[in-house]
């Protein structure tokens, strides 16, 4: 096909115009006819038994149309959890509450004023229980148990034990050991959580809500409402950011469904900013202790990692954080002997889930390790990294194979473009430069949802509609799918409509989970488009009385290559109408099954990786390196990142304009989580104290450094046109880069995240004391 290719073109997002006009209707904007407004009664205690809930006064209030409580309305035995082992979340509880803000009852009324009044009339009798707020406290002997059936507050454990790490460390020339910590960080999403449920007399629920993965969220609702998945329809709509914070089945959706069914009217559950921060999702805190053995020549002999991960009151999708750090670490740096021991711990806090900056402590620890070891071993830090970087086609501890990698190239390029060699040690007082590398997966194993199916129907005018089960959180999936379909079919993007994320109309899809949109959903669309193209060519060939290989398409016309100037062509509209007449309407069907091993993922509290669980864990890995220049104010401890050079190994860049922007978003998140975003809980009440944009310091435009982006463009064999995950992997090394830059600037090592000004000042003062 040699019409001008769209691959690699910077095209604006197809949904941007509506958003710029203010026309886009998000869930938070929608009002359905007859819709009721809900308000939720929430626990003021971090841990308590629910003794009784009295709703009589609330029910009498004029304008109140339905009231639900866990005690009366939650189906018994209906528990949510993304894997069976950690199914621990009763979405509207009837026995116990486990974090401040947990749902206990809810009211639906004709307007929000009435709902707020009604909710204050509901009387709940609690029996407060002792509570625990940190993972370190939770694992101690005698700590209060968040879930009685989980001794030691251990939700789950992940263990990998390859080779013989004890021997390897014993026989190493140097063993480096450090502990890194990162605090709980928040998504701080723009659009307030909104779930609108509308129950039909037939028994079907309609949902309009923000979710990264409609099919997953639907499954959770199906399990907890005890209703067939196909009786729950998620409608498609634009969403105000997710970044990992909308990947579960949240109580708000469950409550909206219960209320709608009871009231026989649509019900909106909308949360305030503070409510979202307290009661939706966070990103787990981590304690990461790592030992790395080295030979004198710089080769790593093995790594021994122990991670304590805190998930809050319920395991939710934080369970995935147990193995993702492993998936990241094992493909960055070689380790012939490898032990990874990770515990997921319950605490009485906001539930944790996915986060786009997940697992950064892992890459951070290795980047600090390399810089520190380079001194001790007398080996250049870049050389040390290149020596241990996992190479193409290497097999890693899980027995995954890395099928595309630009890690080494990204390290060299980032250092070169940033002038790292010249600047290191030379930037003047209080200024420094550092580098850090990261990685992210495209598609890890997700059971039968490890693949996507796309369908395309052609209309009689030659336009088409592409159906995909994936949705768009703002990254630009809609544009990507349309771009891919246009590339394969050969018609303009404006002639391609997209139907996405509707669970009734579309085939199931993993959603924006495990960064699968490009490799999995994109490939499915590509295959469907190729299929449609073939059918178009065949029908045109039929009309033109040749074989399909002889037909060429340009613009909207099909013609015979060898008859140019001599024979007739046929327009796409006529091809489609003829197809209808002949009983063979044009469509395209494409299914893409991710290249992952369909084995048990290995969440088993007893056994490490073995024959049952070895296999390709991830279809494609994205890599990248950032070089960061910092300024540290020696008197206040404030760390300012002034410049970032980012080298992205994301395969082919389908749309540079979009990927660039997504990269900036990742940098923004990493900077926030790395330097200024800190969550604080009141140790006496268990209430989170940092639930607003004012108290939780997300970066503004004034905190943005200069950013230069580079793309390696090394195609991935699995990704569509060689593309893979584009905006997370490269940035996961940013915290290591910052730590290394801080050392270059001040001679002080920071092993924790966020490195807030007070922490930095303490480190500087400690250094001056020990001088």
Partner 1 sequence: MTYYRRLPPFDYLAPKSIGEVSFLLEQHKDDARFLAGGTLVLHQMKERVNVRSCVIGLKGVAGLDIITFGKSTGVTIGSMARLQDVADSEEVKKKCPLLATVCGMLGTPQIRNRGTLGGNVAMRFSTSETLPALIALRAQAKLMAEGGERTVLVEDLYKEMKGGNLLMDVHISALPPGAGVGFEKFAVRERFDYATVAAAVVVQMDGKTCRDITIGLGGVTLPSMRPKAAEDIMKGMMVTREVIQKVAETAAEVGHTTPDVMFSAEYKKKVLRVVVERAVKKATAT
Partner 2 sequence: MKHDIKLKVNGDVYALQVESRRTLLEVLREQLGLTGTKEMCNKGDCGGCTVLLDGRAVLSCMMLAVEADGKEILTIEGLAGKEYQLHPLQKAFVDHGAIQCGYCTPGFIMSAKALLDRNMDPTPDEIKRAISNNICRCTGYVQIVEAIEAAAKEMRGAK
Q: Choose between 22 and 378: whose C-beta lies nearer to partner 2.
A: 22
> b/e string for 398-412 if b means 16 or more Cβ within 10 A?
bebbbbbbbbbbbbb
103-109 vs 154-162, strand pairing mode = unpaired
Least CB distance from residue 325 to partner 2, whole Å?
23
Q: Does 452 bind partner 1 (CB under 8 A)?
A: no
Report residue 248 as tokens: 């579960």
Residue 116 near partner 1 by CB under 8 A: yes
> Among partner 2, partner 1, none, what does residue 473 contact (CB within 5–8 Å per kind)?
partner 2
Query: What is d(CA 669, CA 676) in angstroms, rounded to the nearest whole number?
Result: 10
Looking at the Cβ atoms of 196 and 443, the one nearer to partner 1 is 196
For the bound state, the minimum distance from the C-beta of residue 669 to partner 2, rounded and expressed in Å, comes to: 7
Which residues 182-211 are close enough to bind partner 1 by CB under 8 A?
Answer: none
Q: Pick one of partner 2, partner 1, none as the site partner of residue 16 (Cβ within 5 to 8 A by kind).
A: partner 2
Whether 237 contacts 27, CB under 8 Å? yes
Helix (H, G, I), strand (E, B) or coil at 216: helix
CA–CA dist 510, 211 (Å, integer): 12
Contact (CB, 8 A) for 706 and 717? no
Which one of 271-279, 391-399, 537-545, 649-657 is the stretch in contact with partner 1 (CB under 8 A)?
A: 271-279
Per-residue x/- mask for partner 1, residues 594 to 633, rule CB under 8 A?
----------------------------------------
Q: How many residues does the chain have?
A: 771
Please say which residue, 57 or 113, places its beta carbon nearer to partner 1. Answer: 113
C-alpha closest to that of 468 among 737, 213, 661: 213
Q: How far is the CB of 245 from partner 2 (least distance, A)?
A: 10
Residue 46 or 244: the one with the smaller Cβ distance to partner 1 is 46
Q: Which stretch binds partner 1 (CB under 8 A): 352-360, 431-439, 649-657, 694-702?
A: 694-702
Which of 436, 356, 439 has the alpha carbon at shortest distance from 645? 436
Q: Of 189, 271, 537, 641, which one interacts with partner 1 (CB under 8 A)?
A: 271
- Name the one residue in this structure whose structure tokens are 């020596």: 387
**Interface positions, 274-293, toward partner 1 (CB under 8 A):** 274-275, 278
Instruction: Report, in Å, the least distance between residue 693 CB and partner 2.
Output: 4
Check residue 473 and report its DSSP letter.
S
CB of 293 closer than 8 Å to CB of 192: no
Name the residue nearer to partner 2 (CB basis): 381 or 699. 699
Site of interaction with partner 2 (CB under 8 A): 10, 12-13, 15-17, 19-26, 28-29, 31, 187-192, 238-243, 272-273, 473-476, 657-658, 660-669, 692-694, 698, 700-702, 704, 707
Comparing CB distances to partner 2, the nearer of 211 and 405 is 211
177 sits near partner 1 (criterion: CB under 8 A): no
With CB under 5 to 8 Å by kind, the binding choice for 756 among partner 1, partner 2, none is partner 1
Q: Residue from 10, 230, 393, 636 that binds partner 1 (CB under 8 A)?
A: 636
For the segment 463-502, give every residue that binds partner 1 (CB under 8 A). Answer: none
Nearer to partner 2, 272 or 768 (CB): 272
Minimum CB separation of residue 93 from partner 1 in Å reads: 15
CA dist 769 and 39 (Å) reads 54
Question: Which residue, 383, 373, 387, is CA-closest to 175?
Answer: 373
Binding partner selected for residue 20 from partner 2, partner 1, none, CB under the kind-specific 5 to 8 Å limit? partner 2
* Separation CA 704–CA 668 (nearest Å): 7
Q: Are strands 103-109 and 64-69 parallel, antiparallel or unpaired?
A: antiparallel
Residue 43: contacted member of partner 2, partner 1, none (CB under 5 to 8 Å, by partner type): partner 1
By CB under 8 A, the count of residues binding partner 1 is: 37
User: Which of residues 116 and 177 has its CB atom nearest to partner 1 in the complex?
Assistant: 116
Does position 43 interact with partner 1 (CB under 8 A)? The reply is yes
What residue 129 binds from partner 1, partner 2, none (CB within 5 to 8 A, per partner kind)?
none
The kind and range of the H/E element at 574 are helix 572-581
Least Å distance, CB 266 to partner 1, is 19
Measured CA to CA, the distance from residue 212 to residue 257 in angstroms comes to 19
Q: What is the DSSP letter of 425?
A: T
Beta-strand pair 205-209/232-234: parallel
CB of 167 to partner 2, least distance (A): 46
Least Cα distance to 192 among 260, 266, 252, 263 occurs for: 252
Q: Among 5, 272, 426, 547, which residue interacts with partner 1 (rule: CB under 8 A)?
A: 272
**Distance between CA atoms of residues 261 and 714, nearest Å:** 52
**Which of partner 2, partner 1, none sits in contact with 238, Cβ below 5 to 8 A by type?**
partner 2
CA dihedral 87, 92, 97, 102 (to 10 degrees): 110
Q: Does 635 bind partner 1 (CB under 8 A)?
A: yes
| Site residues (CB under 8 A) for partner 1, limited to 720-759 | 756-758
DSSP state of 405: -
Specify the DSSP element, H or E, that contains 435: strand 431-444
- Say whether residue 694 binds partner 1 (CB under 8 A): yes
Taking alpha carbons only, the member of 65, 88, 103 closest to residue 147 is: 88
For 503-563, strand residue ranges (E) read: 551-554, 557-560
Given a contact cutoff of 8 angstroms between Cβ atoms, the answer to whether 645 and 437 are in contact is no
Composition of the chain by helix, strand, coil, percent to 5: 30, 25, 40
38-46, 294-302, 439-447, 611-619 -> range binding partner 1 (CB under 8 A): 38-46
Site string for partner 1, 90-109 (x = CB under 8 A): ----------xx--------
Q: Which is nearer to partner 1, 271 or 480 (CB)?
A: 271
Does 55 sit near partner 1 (CB under 8 A)? no
All residues at 6 or more sequence positions from 232 whose CB lies less than 8 Å from its CB, including other chains: 204, 205, 207, 218, 221, 222, 225, 257, 503
User: What tokens appear for 49 in the block?
Assistant: 């038994």
* Nearer to partner 2 (CB atom), residue 580 or residue 693: 693
Least separation in angstroms between residue 380's CB and partner 2 is: 32
Task: Pick one of 62, 565, 583, 700: the residue that binds partner 1 (CB under 8 A).
Answer: 700
From partner 1, partner 2, none, interface partner of 474 (C-beta below 5 to 8 A by class): partner 2
Half-sphere exposure of 240 (CA within 13 A, CB side): 17
Nearest-approach distance from CB 468 to partner 1, in angstroms: 35
Query: What DSSP string runs through 4-58?
Result: PP-TT-----TTHHHHHHT----GGG---TT-EEEEEEE-SSSSEEEEEEE-HHH
DSSP H or E run through 125: strand 123-128
Which CB sits closer to partner 2, 28 or 647? Answer: 28
What's the CA gap between 622 and 768, in Å, rounded?
A: 41
766 touching partner 1, by CB under 8 A:
no
The answer to whether 697 contacts partner 1 (rule: CB under 8 A) is yes
Q: Which residues bind partner 1 (CB under 8 A)?
A: 39, 41-44, 100-101, 112-113, 116, 119-120, 270-272, 274-275, 278, 635-636, 638, 676, 678, 680, 689-690, 694-695, 697, 699-700, 702-703, 756-758, 761
């Amino acid at each position: 096909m040699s019409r001008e290719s769209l691959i690699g073109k910077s095209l604006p997002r197809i949904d941007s115009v509506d958003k710029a006009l203010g026309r886009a209707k998000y869930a938070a904007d929608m009002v359905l006819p007859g819709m009721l407004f809900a308000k939720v009664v929430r626990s003021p205690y971090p841990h308590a038994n629910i003794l009784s809930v009295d709703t009589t006064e609330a029910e009498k209030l004029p304008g109140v149309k339905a009231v639900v409580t866990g005690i009366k309305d939650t189906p018994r035995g209906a528990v949510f959890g993304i894997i069976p082992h950690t199914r621990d979340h009763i979405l509207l509880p009837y026995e116990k509450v486990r974090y401040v803000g947990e749902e206990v009852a809810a009211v639906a009324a004709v307007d929000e004023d009435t709902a707020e009044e009604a909710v204050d009339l509901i009387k709940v009798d609690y029996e407060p229980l002792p509570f625990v707020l940190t993972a370190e406290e939770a694992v101690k002997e005698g700590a209060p148990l968040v879930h009685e059936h989980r001794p030691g507050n251990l939700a789950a454990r992940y263990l990998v034990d390859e080779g013989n790490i004890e021997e390897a460390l014993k026989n190493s020339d140097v063993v480096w050991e450090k502990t890194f910590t990162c605090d709980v960080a928040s998504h701080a999403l723009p659009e307030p959580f909104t779930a609108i449920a509308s129950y039909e007399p037939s028994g079907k629920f309609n949902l309009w809500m923000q979710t990264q993965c409609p099919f997953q969220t639907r499954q959770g609702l199906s399990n907890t409402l005890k209703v067939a998945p196909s009786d729950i329809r998620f409608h498609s709509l634009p969403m105000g950011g997710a970044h990992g914070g909308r990947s579960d089945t949240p109580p708000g959706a469950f409550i909206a469904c219960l209320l709608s069914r009871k009231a026989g009217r649509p019900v909106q559950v909308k949360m305030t900013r503070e409510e979202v921060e307290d009661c939706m999702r966070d990103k787990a805190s981590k304690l990461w202790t790592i030992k790395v053995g080295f030979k004198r020549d710089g080769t790593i002999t093995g790594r021994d990692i122990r991670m304590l991960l805190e998930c809050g009151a319920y395991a939710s999708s934080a369970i995935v954080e147990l193995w993702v750090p492993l998936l990241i670490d094992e493909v960055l740096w070689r380790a012939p002997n490898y032990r990874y021991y990770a515990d997921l711990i319950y605490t009485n806090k906001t539930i944790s889930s996915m986060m786009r900056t997940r697992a950064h402590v892992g890459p951070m620890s290795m980047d600090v390790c390399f810089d520190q070891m380079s001194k001790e071993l007398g080996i250049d830090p870049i050389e040390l990294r290149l020596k241990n970087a996992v190479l193409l086609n290497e097999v890693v501890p899980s027995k995954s194979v890395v099928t595309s990698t630009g890690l080494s190239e990204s390290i060299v390029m980032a250092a070169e473009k940033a002038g790292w060699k010249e600047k290191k040690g030379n930037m003047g007082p209080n200024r420094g430069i550092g580098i850090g590398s990261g990685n992210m997966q495209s598609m890890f194993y997700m059971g039968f949802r490890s693949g996507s199916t796309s369908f395309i129907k052609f209309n009689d005018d030659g336009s088409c509609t592409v159906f995909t089960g994936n949705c768009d959180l703002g990254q630009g999936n809609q544009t990507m799918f349309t771009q891919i379909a246009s590339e394969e079919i050969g018609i303009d993007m404006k002639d391609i409509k997209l139907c996405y994320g509707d669970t009734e109309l579309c085939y199931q899809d993993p959603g924006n989970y495990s960064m699968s949109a490009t490799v999995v959903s994109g490939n499915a669309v590509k295959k469907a488009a190729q299929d449609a193209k073939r059918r178009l060519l065949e029908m045109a060939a039929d009309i033109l009385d040749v074989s399909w290989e002889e037909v060429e398409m340009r613009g909207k016309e099909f013609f015979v290559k060898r008859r140019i100037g001599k024979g007739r062509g046929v327009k796409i509209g006529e091809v489609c109408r003829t197809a209808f007449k002949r009983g063979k309407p044009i469509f395209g069907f494409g299914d893409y099954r991710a290249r992952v091993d369909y084995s048990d993922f290995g969440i088993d509290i007893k056994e490490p990786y073995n024959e049952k669980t070895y296999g390709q864990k991830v279809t494609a890995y994205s890599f990248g390196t950032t070089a960061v220049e910092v300024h540290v104010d020696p008197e206040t401890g404030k760390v300012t990142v002034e410049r970032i050079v980012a080298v992205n190994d994301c395969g082919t860049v389908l749309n540079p304009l979009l990927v660039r922007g997504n990269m900036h978003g990742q940098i923004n998140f990493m900077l926030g989580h790395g330097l200024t975003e800190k969550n604080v809980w009141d140790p006496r009440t268990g209430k989170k104290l940092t639930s607003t944009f004012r108290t939780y310091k997300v970066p503004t435009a004034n905190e943005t450094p200069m950013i230069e982006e580079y793309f390696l463009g090394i195609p991935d064999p699995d990704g569509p046109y060689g593309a893979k995950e584009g905006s997370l992997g490269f940035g996961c090394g940013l915290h290591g880069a910052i730590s290394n830059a801080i050392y270059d600037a001040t001679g002080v090592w920071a092993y924790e995240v966020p490195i807030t000004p007070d922490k930095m000042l303490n480190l500087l003062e400690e250094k001056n004391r020990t001088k």
